[in-house]
Amino acid sequence: MSATQDQARGSIVIDDDVVLINEQIKALKELGRQDDEAPISEGQRYDFSIRWGTVLAGRLRRLVHYSSLGMLEDADESTFRALCDELRGLSHLIDRFRLAQPRFTEGPPARARRYRRG
C-alpha cells in the first residue's frame, strides 16, 4: 500500500453513515411490525421509501465506494460487512414494501427513467 493510500485509509470516518443506515433498518423493522398488526397506508409506505432510498443512494453507496477502494480501517470494514449481512437478511421486508434494493458493489449510478408521451 502506498503512503497516500495509507494516509487516506485512516481518514475515512463512517460512524454517521452507520448510524443513519441503522436508523432506517430499525424503522423498516418497525414498519413491518406495524403492517402485521394493521395494514399501513400508502402514504406511510411512500414516505418511508423516500427516506430508505435516500440512505441507500447516499450513505450506503459511500460505504460501498470506500470499501471497494480498500480505504476502510479493519474495524470499519467489519462493521460495513455486518451491516451488509443485516440488510441482506431484510430482503423479505424490502420486497414486501417494494423498496429499493441495497447494492453492495460499485456500479454506474442509476439513471432516471423518462417517459415520453405518444
Give pLDDT tens digits along the chain (118 positions).
Answer: 444 455 445 579 999 999 999 999 999 999 999 999 999 999 999 999 999 999 999 999 999 999 999 999 999 999 999 999 999 999 999 999 999 999 998 876 656 566 566 5
Q: Which domain holds residue 80?
A: 14-97
Query: How many residues are present in the chain?
Result: 118
Classify residue 2: in a domain, yes or no.
Answer: no
Classify residue 28: in a domain, yes or no.
Answer: yes
Question: pTM of the predicted model, to two decimals?
Answer: 0.80
Number of domains in the chain: 1
Q: What span, in angstroms and rounded, lies between the C-alpha atoms of 79 and 85? A: 10
